[in-house]
Amino acid sequence: MDGLRRFFPDTWKTVFTLAALKCIGEASLKRVQTCYETSYLSVLFPRLGLSAPSLTHVMRELGRNRDGICSYMRDGLSAYSGFILVDGHRIISESRNMPLTQMSYDSRMRYEPQINLLYLFGRKDGTRLPLYYKQFAGSVPDCLALPDIGDEAGIGGSGITVIVDKGFGSEDDFSAITGSGMHYIIPLRRNTTEAQIPANTSLYANAFNFRQRSVFWISGTKDRCKVVVYYDMLLAMHETNDLICRLEKKNNTMAAALQKEGARRSKGKSKLTDEQIAAMQSIDVASNVQQRSEIGTLILKTDRLDLDESQIYALYKTRQEIEQNSKCYDDTLDLDASFMQDQDTFEGWLFVNHLALQMLYSILDHVAQANLAGRYSFKDVLRTLEGIRANKIHGQWRLSQFTKNTRKLCTDLNIKIDGPLVG
């Protein structure tokens, strides 16, 4: 609220209300007015004009104020230093009127008109927060967009280290990042020519413990960059199990096909040629797995020579804490597609989404810090707290009775709800 008051003094209540309602599940602008009128937000911020026509105007004016949006985001970004996590996300766009909407493939291999949304995340004291976003044309890859968003966000030339995912591993990407004054930790593909994966674990000269599992490593330094090959035993176990399951399924599929073909041929019929039958050779599962020396490996490259191998690995693994960003954006907040028809309105929509995402992550971190992440999901919290209702009796707001489960969640998360209500 403080940041919105400063950078959007005339509309901050409306913007905050839109983000809060979106965070609790109201993604449609045409239903916002009804949701607001039955929410306690209408008591905290009375007489907000949230009809569909009014909101279209609000979104358009908000989107035109990209300077204010950037100032808000840079203000939050200033509290984070050292390491920034980068995550790309694609939004399907139903508008043909926006210049950034272009046909492209996303991670789900959907070839549709879309916009590339690049995000910067900060991590501090065990919490993580989406701090900055910028939209790019759907055909622009994340690696080319990173220096641009870095300069706009003010982290270019700051010496900040960006931690990115696969797809940034070419020489052009490294030079673009370092040319912007940023450092990097980047994973390389397993078939990279910059490192050789050892044939077996006995060839890894070093090891450390990471979250109760063993990680072996070898490293080399070239052109003031460090390239480290890691072998994670837990990752190897998961990948081995997955590979065995896929090979067994393939063998079973071929055996079933051969059995059906045999039954057909016994009746004087045929569907497969002799060449196709000959190609259906059973796979030696054990031998196939043993030949995969890349199983369980991760190759990281960084220009931070002051970091040791265990620090580099631990820093990269913090990316797991934001890899749910796409799921939160698409599934939890139901924001996987946009029907906005002009660029300004779409920008306003993105900013409200950004605020809702910040609220969502703050709630997730609050649950995690109470060591309750295994018990309560984000939707569990929302569904339970929806049971807290208030009635106005003789001009005063009073809480209605609610269930033991609701009270227990409030106790577990240290949410105080028994005080006086405003209004």
334 pLDDT band, cuts 50/70/90, is very low
- Please, are residues 168 and 141 in contact by the beta-carbon 8 Å criterion? no
21 pLDDT band, cuts 50/70/90, is very high
What pLDDT is stored for residue 26 in this prediction?
A: 75
What pLDDT is stored for residue 111 in this prediction?
A: 64
What pLDDT is stored for residue 420 in this prediction?
A: 58
Instruction: Copy the structure tokens of residue 28.
Output: 């449609």
pLDDT > 70 in the chain, percent: 87
* pLDDT of 71 over the 90 cut: yes
Cα distance between residue 73 and residue 80, in whole Å: 12
3-state secondary structure of 118: strand
Once rounded to an integer, what is the mean pLDDT over residues 103-116? 66
Going by C-alpha positions, the residue among 31, 346, 320 that lies closest to residue 165 is 320
- Residue 325 burial (CB count, 10 A): 20
Once rounded to an integer, what is the mean pLDDT over residues 249-253? 94
337 pLDDT band, cuts 50/70/90, is very low
What pLDDT is stored for residue 3 in this prediction?
A: 92
Q: Cβ contacts of residue 128 below 8 Å, gap of 6+?
A: 85, 121, 122, 318, 321, 322, 361, 365
First to last CA, the chain: 19
Cα-Cα-Cα-Cα dihedral sign, residues 186, 189, 195, 200:
positive
Once rounded to an integer, what is the mean pLDDT over residues 48-76? 91
Alpha carbon separation from 299 to 198, 220, 229, 273, 331 (Å, rounded): 12, 11, 5, 44, 31
Instruction: Report the relative pairing of strands 206-210 and 213-222 from DSSP bridges.
Output: antiparallel
Cα distance between residue 373 and residue 363, in whole Å: 11
Cα distance between residue 186 and residue 163, in whole Å: 6
CA angle (75, 369, 326) in 5-degree steps: 60
Once rounded to an integer, what is the mean pLDDT over residues 44-50? 90
Alpha carbon separation from 315 to 64, 308, 345 (Å, rounded): 37, 11, 37
Residue with tokens 């409306």: 14
Instruction: Copy the structure tokens of residue 326.
Output: 């796409």
Amino acid at 79: A
339 pLDDT band, cuts 50/70/90, is low
Least confident of 96-110, 114-128, 403-417: 96-110
Q: Is 264 left (phi over 0), alpha (psi -120 to 50) or beta?
A: alpha
* pLDDT of 213 over the 60 cut: yes
Alpha carbon separation from 76 to 71, 81, 322, 408 (Å, rounded): 9, 11, 17, 33
Least confident of 219-233, 242-256, 334-348: 334-348
Instruction: Report the relative pairing of strands 111-124 and 102-105 from DSSP bridges.
Output: antiparallel
CB-based contacts of 295-298 (< 8 A; 24+ apart in sequence):
295/236, 295/239, 295/240, 295/243, 296/231, 296/232, 296/233, 296/235, 296/236, 296/237, 296/239, 296/240, 297/190, 297/197, 297/229, 297/230, 297/231, 297/232, 297/236, 298/187, 298/229, 298/230, 298/232, 298/235
3-state secondary structure of 300: strand
Cα distance between residue 184 and residue 302, in whole Å: 5
> What is the reported pTM?
0.80
What pLDDT is stored for residue 61 in this prediction?
A: 93
Greater model confidence, 243 or 29? 243
What pLDDT is stored for residue 110 in this prediction?
A: 61
Once rounded to an integer, what is the mean pLDDT over residues 58-85? 90
What pLDDT is stored for residue 379 in this prediction?
A: 86
- Please, are residues 299 and 192 in contact by the beta-carbon 8 Å criterion? yes
- Every domain of the chain and the residues it spans: 2-89+122-132+148-185+321-369, 235-290, 378-412
What pLDDT is stored for residue 423 in this prediction?
A: 54
What pLDDT is stored for residue 373 in this prediction?
A: 83
Greater model confidence, 31 or 97? 31
What pLDDT is stored for residue 94 in this prediction?
A: 64
Cα distance between residue 33 and residue 322, in whole Å: 32
* pLDDT tens per residue across span 344-388: 888 998 999 999 989 988 888 888 888 888 888 888 888 888 888
3-state helix, strand, coil in the chain (%, to 5): 45, 20, 35
* pLDDT of 272 over the 90 cut: no
3-state secondary structure of 143: helix
Residue with tokens 């696969």: 166
419 pLDDT band, cuts 50/70/90, is low
Once rounded to an integer, what is the mean pLDDT over residues 145-162? 83
Least confident of 125-129, 206-210, 284-288: 125-129
